[in-house]
């Protein structure tokens, strides 16, 4: 039972009776009443004046009087400056609570038949995942869960950037300085080992450029052009694209190390995909599309052999699609990957979860696909998110100053353990139970702190702040759930069963039920906005309302048996909705803390 739908339908009937006109329900604007006014819901009357032919106040009073007389569930109304504030009867809220409790699928919207593909993660195989990747993965995962709750058929995909000059840099540095090092011989995760050689390459290149500058008196830009190391990396890329055996075998071996490392990090984050694509397997399809575009006169080839798409008439610039040596660029493989995915899945929407520094790239991608004649290009949506920054500033992977994802997860675990021990929240738990709890808290803290921020905003990440058990944090919501489960366990020990008894509701209980009833609306709102932050902050609001209610109201100590049973029922529903909402964020809630 949705209160907004109920009121819209009742008002629709009133408008027909009062003014003889039947409006579509979507044109009846009902919203939650602002806290400073009395009422549960407010009807915006101004759009209705064209059919009432009366002043806003007179129209609001007429509609309010009709509802009060003809709808037993409307308790009272008041009019303020043309806004009709409606208060619903306590019996109505009792029924709403009961309907929520009886609906196992509460919050899940009906199937739409729409297929949505979500690409996220998209790592490079020259370095391990870092804090920026964590935001990408957590955002991509939670958006996927949110869209599935909206009734869509969601396909989660990853695109591994496993080819290109950056990969060759790691390979070349390993050949020159690695001395045959492997993950087994060094004890390092494979992605960490390969990432170390990416940093090593840039150290070697910096040293060579400095030596050339000093020896020949050149500026840095000139010296970089003469650096042999960069030329060797470019030659290696050409050898890879031509299929030279030794280069391909080294590429396969080092990428294999990286994939093993990625799998560990994904598993620790609780991330999985329906399908993983590899740039090395899609760039050739992209090249064929580009060459076809040249033949059709869509693209143009310059004198040096490079291929470009002229977008100046579209208000953009010329976009490189193939280099003069025939090697492809990111855009080339993205064209091929998008084409392959549509052929395989026939998606209705394709969401790319990629940072906002790539806004132009996706604007160009859609435009080029349209020029190639693919109408489905309109279904591409770039979920552009802000970067994650630290108190000390931005991260730079080539300088080795990134916050490594694995190190961060370990530090979060240690912080969760330290904080829990300080607060004494693990009494009577076995070592195994403690370990599971610390993992749950640390992941909940990390995921919630990142996801609660609107995706479009740049965010500052503070690990210590994220594990605070007070305030807008994951551990606060986890502790709230554990507190509710503790109350329910004590009730069970006393043979008290939570149940709907029809007992009178307190105003605070009505407010909580109203908040519970908005959960499906938040699912829809979050899905439409591609923003799981809406669900995160809803869960926090619900947890906060429970804690205030628990502080001010007797539950187990309530002497009236019917009231006590109903209050237990209410808090059990709060716990259920907290579990549902946090599951969308990939966060588990503990039974005890």
Concatenating the DSSP letter of every residue in 425-443 gives: --TT--HHHHHHHHHHHHH
* Contact by Cβ (8 Å): 134, 446: yes
Is 578 part of any domain?
A: yes
Query: Is 53 in the same domain as 198?
Result: no
Q: What are phi and psi of 385, to 5 degrees?
A: -115, 155
Q: Cβ contacts of residue 322 below 8 Å, gap of 6+?
A: 287, 290, 306, 307, 328, 329, 332
Is 424 part of any domain?
A: yes
CA distances for 10 relative to 25, 40, 60, 68, 285, angstroms: 10, 15, 14, 11, 57
The DSSP code sequence of 515-540 is HHHTHHHHHHHHHHHT-THHHHHHHH
Q: Give me the domain span that covers residue 563.
A: 406-584
Is 104 part of any domain?
A: no
Is 388 part of any domain?
A: no
* Contact by Cβ (8 Å): 412, 445: yes
Query: Is 82 in the same domain as 187?
Result: no
Tens place of pLDDT for every residue, the chain, 593 residues? 789 999 999 999 999 999 999 999 888 999 999 989 999 999 999 999 999 999 999 999 999 999 999 999 999 999 998 899 999 999 999 999 999 999 999 999 999 999 999 999 999 999 999 988 999 999 999 999 999 999 999 999 999 999 888 999 999 999 999 999 999 999 999 999 999 999 999 999 999 999 999 998 889 989 988 999 999 999 999 999 899 999 999 999 999 999 999 999 999 999 999 999 999 999 899 999 999 999 999 999 999 999 999 999 999 999 999 999 888 888 999 999 999 999 999 999 999 999 999 999 999 999 999 999 999 999 999 999 998 887 765 544 444 456 889 998 998 999 889 888 887 767 778 889 999 999 999 999 999 999 999 999 999 888 788 888 888 999 999 999 999 999 999 999 999 999 999 888 999 999 999 999 999 999 999 999 999 999 999 999 999 999 999 999 999 999 999 999 999 999 999 999 999 999 999 999 999 98
Query: Is 178 in the same domain as 84?
Result: no
From 56, 88, 120, the end of a domain falls on 88
Q: How many domains does the chain have?
A: 3
Q: Per DSSP, what are the bridge partners of residue 535?
A: none
Q: Where are the alpha helices (DSSP H) in 178-278?
A: 183-186, 190-216, 220-226, 228-241, 245-269
Q: Which long-range contacts (CB under 8 A, 24 or more apart) does 81-84 make?
A: 81/56, 81/57, 82/45, 82/46, 82/55, 82/56, 82/57, 83/37, 83/42, 83/43, 83/44, 83/45, 84/42, 84/43, 84/45, 84/60
Q: Closest by alpha carbon to 258, among 398, 404, 125, 405? A: 125
From 230, 245, 269, the end of a domain falls on 269
Distance (Å, whole) CA 80 – CA 66: 17
At 232, is the secondary structure helix, strand, or coil? Answer: helix
Query: Is 187 in the same domain as 41?
Result: no
Going edge to edge, which strands form the sheet with 30-32?
30-32, 41-44, 83-88, 74-80
Is 392 part of any domain?
A: no
Q: Closest by alpha carbon to 194, among 204, 205, 182? A: 182
Check which CATH number belongs to the domain holding 84 and give it: 3.30.1360.70
Q: Cβ contacts of residue 291 below 8 Å, gap of 6+?
A: 307
Check which CATH number belongs to the domain holding 469 and give it: 1.10.730.10
From 269, 304, 321, the end of a domain falls on 269
Is 336 part of any domain?
A: no
Query: Is 174 in the same domain as 60?
Result: no
Query: Is 77 in the same domain as 194?
Result: no
Is 508 part of any domain?
A: yes
- Region of 502 (left: φ > 0; alpha: ψ -120 to 50; beta: rest) is left
Query: Is 474 in the same domain as 562?
Result: yes
* Contact by Cβ (8 Å): 132, 355: yes
At 203, is the secondary structure helix, strand, or coil? Answer: helix
Query: Is 185 in the same domain as 39?
Result: no
Give the distance from CA 399 to its chain's centroid: 28
Distance (Å, whole) CA 386 – CA 485: 37
Query: Is 82 in the same domain as 181?
Result: no
CA distances for 490 relative to 85, 487, 494, 557, 568, angstroms: 40, 5, 6, 11, 11
Is 348 part of any domain?
A: no
* Contact by Cβ (8 Å): 302, 289: no
């Amino acid at each position: 039972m949705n209160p907004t739908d109920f009121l819209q339908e009742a008002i629709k009937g009133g408008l027909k009776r009062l003014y003889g006109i039947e409006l579509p329900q979507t044109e009846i604007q009902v919203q939650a009443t602002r806290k400073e006014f009395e009422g549960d819901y407010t009807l915006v009357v101004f759009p209705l004046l064209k059919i009432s032919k009366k002043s806003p106040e007179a129209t609001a009073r007429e509609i309010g009087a009709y509802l009060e007389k003809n709808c037993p569930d409307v308790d009272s109304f008041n009019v303020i400056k043309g806004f009709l504030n409606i208060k619903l009867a306590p019996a109505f809220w009792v029924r709403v609570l009961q309907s929520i409790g009886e609906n196992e699928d509460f919050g899940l919207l009906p199937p739409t038949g729409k297929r949505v593909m979500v690409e996220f993660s998209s790592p490079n195989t020259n370095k391990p995942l870092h804090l920026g990747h964590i935001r990408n993965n957590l955002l991509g995962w939670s958006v996927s869960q949110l869209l599935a709750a909206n009734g869509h058929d969601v396909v989660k995909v990853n695109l591994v950037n496993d080819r290109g000059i950056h990969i060759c840099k790691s390979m070349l540095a390993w050949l020159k300085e690695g001395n045959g090092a492997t993950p087994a011989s060094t004890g390092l995760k494979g992605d960490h080992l390969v990432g170390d050689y990416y940093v090593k390459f840039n150290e070697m290149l910096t040293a060579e450029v400095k030596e050339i500058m000093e020896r020949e008196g050149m500026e840095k830009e000139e010296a970089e052009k003469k650096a042999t190391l960069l030329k060797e990396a470019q030659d290696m890329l050409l050898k890879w694209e031509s299929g030279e055996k030794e280069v391909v075998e080294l590429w396969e071996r080092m990428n294999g190390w990286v994939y093993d490392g990625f799998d560990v990090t994904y598993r620790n984050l609780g991330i999985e995909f329906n399908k993983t694509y590899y740039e090395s397997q899609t760039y050739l399809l992209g090249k064929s599309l580009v060459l076809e575009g040249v033949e059709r006169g869509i693209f143009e080839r310059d004198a040096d052999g490079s291929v470009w798409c002229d977008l100046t008439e579209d208000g953009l610039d010329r976009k490189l699609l193939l280099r003069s040596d025939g090697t492809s660029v990111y855009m080339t493989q993205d064209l091929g990957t998008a084409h392959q995915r549509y052929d395989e899945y026939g998606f209705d929407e394709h969401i790319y979860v990629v940072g906002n520094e790539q806004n132009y790239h996706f604007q160009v991608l859609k435009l080029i696909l349209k020029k190639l004649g693919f109408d489905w290009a309109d279904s591409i949506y770039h979920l552009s998110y802000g970067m994650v920054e630290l108190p000390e500033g931005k991260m730079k992977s080539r300088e080795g100053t990134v916050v490594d994802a694995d190190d961060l997860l370990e530090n979060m675990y240690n912080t969760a353990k330290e904080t829990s021990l300080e607060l004494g929240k693990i009494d009577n738990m076995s070592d195994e139970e403690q370990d599971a709890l610390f993992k749950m808290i640390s992941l909940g803290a990390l995921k919630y702190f990142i996801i609660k921020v609107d995706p479009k905003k740049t965010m500052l990440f503070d690990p210590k702040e994220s594990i605070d058990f007070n305030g807008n944090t994951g551990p606060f919501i986890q502790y709230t759930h554990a507190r509710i489960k503790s109350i329910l366990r004590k009730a069970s020990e006393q043979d008290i069963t939570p149940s709907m008894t029809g007992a009178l509701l307190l105003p605070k209980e009505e407010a909580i039920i109203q908040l519970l009833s908005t959960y499906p609306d938040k699912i829809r709102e979050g899905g439409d906005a591609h923003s799981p932050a809406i669900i995160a902050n809803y869960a926090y609001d619900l947890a906060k309302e429970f804690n205030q209610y628990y502080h001010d109201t007797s539950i187990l100590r309530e002497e009236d048996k019917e009231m006590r049973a109903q209050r237990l029922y209410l808090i059990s529903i709060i716990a259920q909705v907290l579990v549902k909402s946090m599951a969308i964020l990939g966060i588990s809630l503990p039974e005890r803390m």
